[in-house]
Structure 1
């Protein structure tokens, strides 16, 4: 199954995909260096798959 670019990922899904600890994610959020998130009305965060892909692509170009 091909992921849809508009798919909203949970923080847990992003952590699993990037293989990072939650503390790293929290630090990126504090520093404003992580991928942009969507905050749902229930206050949970989601990350659009397309935003995560663009963020990773930008990191690759900067390396």
Structure 2
């Protein structure tokens, strides 16, 4: 007798909702941030040294990442009220 087909405990809609909730926030690399801001890498590191760059996360291998939400908040804080 063949095995019955696998049935998930959750519906497709429930699985999609769970995937959305458990998804990690988007992380950008330094080159991606520099491209978006149209700045050089040296400018980014200069801002970082002066405490003017967006919040960064240092990974165990030493590379940096910037959360999309942190970059957006950083940009919003620098917006002029024109």
Relative to the length of structure 2, the TM-score reads 0.67
Residues in 2 aligned to 1:40 and 1:54: alpha-carbon distance in whole angstroms? 21
Larger radius of gyration: 2
User: For structure 2, which runs of at least 5 residues remain unmatched after alignment?
Assistant: 1-22
- Taking only aligned residues, the RMSD between alpha carbons, in angstroms, comes to 2.1
4+ runs deviating over 6 angstroms: none
Tell me which residue corresponds to 2:27.
Answer: 8
SS at match of 1:47: strand
Matches within 5 A, 1:22-61: 22-61=41-80
Contact 1:39–1:46 (CA under 8 A) maintained in structure 2: yes
User: For structure 1, which runs of at least 5 residues remain unmatched after alignment?
Assistant: none
Q: How many residues align?
A: 60
Residues in 2 aligned to 1:11 and 1:58: alpha-carbon distance in whole angstroms? 20
